[in-house]
Amino acid sequence: MQNQSEEIVKRKTALITGGSRGIGRGIALALAEAGYEIMITHYQDDVAADQTAEEIAHLSGWVCTVREGDLRDAKEAERTVAEAIQVMGHIDVLINNAGIGMYSSITELPLEHLDFTMQLNFRAPMLLMREASKQMIEAGRGGNIINIISTHAERAYPGDAVYGGLKAALKRATESVALDLSPYGIRVNCIAPGGILVREREPLHDHVGATIPLGRIGVPEDIGQAALWLVSEHASYITGITIRIDGGLILPGMPEDGEASWGYRKVRPFRVN
């Protein structure tokens, strides 16, 4: 009985929203390989979620709990955290990854577009942080929260006022939450992906990759390994920051060579004649 209690205390756990595919899946697999017990959430993505859960269980040795739910519902944050506590006993890591990209010129902005994005991309992470942090404080184990934002939080694009604006808001909110929770040993940070392959590879992805300074498009594993490091003791003195993971995508700024692109341009090698 004592050995079982010790095992529960030592076991690391993670709640990952939007964990069925893409970046969420990449983070889940990285944490699973490090031995975390994991619960993932999804919305109307049963097949992919079940497949990811099987992979997680194989890597971690722990059953992966899958929860289907619509995080636009404010009560769903409470229900999600409650189930995570019921199943895993405690939450060491919260990854707020679930979100959607919806784009529109401000002159044509639909109200439903605005409400949908605000509820899922900003309100849901805030409510999940509220619920999870209360549990982390009560458990007295410290903890980590990572909000997945985007390079759109740092660079403006046409039609991007809502998505980019809310990602910027979540980045700023993260900084305040980091201060709120630092007395309890809970670290709160952001990861800002850019140019990440989250669907099946197509020729367009290789074309985009060639325009990125590091010469390739990113993959979910890139984000997963960064998240694993950020929640580890190796990053124990880090809170309230944003780590941009985009291969240098947004560094060059606007194109200078006349190409009709926004935010990046192909970097040509320097030649001495």
Query: What is the set of active-site residues?
Result: 150, 163, 167
> What six digits make up the tokens of 60?
């971690």
Taking each helix axis from N to C terminus, what angle separates 74-88 and 124-139, rounded to the nearest 10 degrees? 30
| Max intra-chain CA distance, the chain | 75
CA distances from 90 to 12, 81, 224, 245 (A): 9, 9, 22, 29
* Beta strand segments in the chain, E: 13-16, 37-42, 65-68, 93-96, 143-148, 186-193, 242-245
How many Cβ atoms from other residues are within 10 Å of residue 176's Cβ? Answer: 11
Say if residues 66 and 42 touch (Cβ distance below 8 Å). Answer: yes
- Decide: helix, strand or coil at residue 27: helix
Q: 270: Cβ–Cβ under 8 A, 6 or more apart, which residues?
A: none
Q: How far apart are CA 17 and CA 25, in angstroms?
A: 9
Q: How far apart are CA 181 and CA 186, in angstroms?
A: 5
